[in-house]
Amino acid sequence: MASYNKILLLGNLTRDPQLSYTPNQTAVVDFGIATNRKWSGQDGSQREETCFVDCRAFGRQAENINKYLSKGRMAFIEGRLTFDSWTAQDGTKRSRHRVTVETVQFMPGTGAPGGDQQTVNTAPDESHPVNDDDIPF
């Protein structure tokens, strides 16, 4: 049976990206993004909810996210949903879903060069490496 795993998010970063490196020197950046939804309730009142999503990117894309995005900046994220599970220090089982970023567009006013939309495409597992010529800035 075929399956499909694609996530599209447009929102604002909830915290500054945190860059680190794996033992083999692959860049990894973790950040959060918030999306808002507005609607009218049955009583006519305006309502709003915010969804907070953890995101992770790899490679050159991770370095660019760390360099050009910061808390409050808007970004369009395309990726896939991944599931992490681990045992906490107190022995309890923990888990969470996270978006593994495949493409990010820095939206206008995000501090990207020229203030225009910038797109960076890389595969998070780096099976599709990107040359410097492929980066739009």
Amino acid 54: pLDDT: 96
In the three-class reduction of DSSP (H, G, I as helix; E, B as strand; rest coil), residue 108 is classed as: coil
What is the pLDDT, as a whole number, of residue 21?
Answer: 97
Task: Give residue-wise pLDDT tens across range 9-35.
Answer: 999 999 999 999 999 999 999 999 999
Residue with tokens 């009142």: 45
The pLDDT mean for the chain works out to 84
Q: Which two tokens stand for residue 123?
A: 């595969």
Which tokens go with 45?
């009142």
Q: Is 92 left (phi over 0), alpha (psi -120 to 50) or beta?
A: beta
| Residue 16 three-state SS | coil
Half-sphere exposure of 67 (CA within 13 A, CB side): 12
Confidence of residue 123 (pLDDT cuts 50, 70, 90): very low
- Note the pLDDT of residue 109: 62
Q: What are the structural domains of the chain?
A: 7-134 (2.40.50.140)
Check residue 81 and give its pLDDT: 96
Region 71-78: mean pLDDT is 96
What percent of the chain is predicted at pLDDT more than 70?
79
- Give me the half-sphere count of Cα atoms (radius 13 Å) on the Cβ side of residue 26: 14
How would you classify the pairing of strands 74-87 and 46-58? unpaired
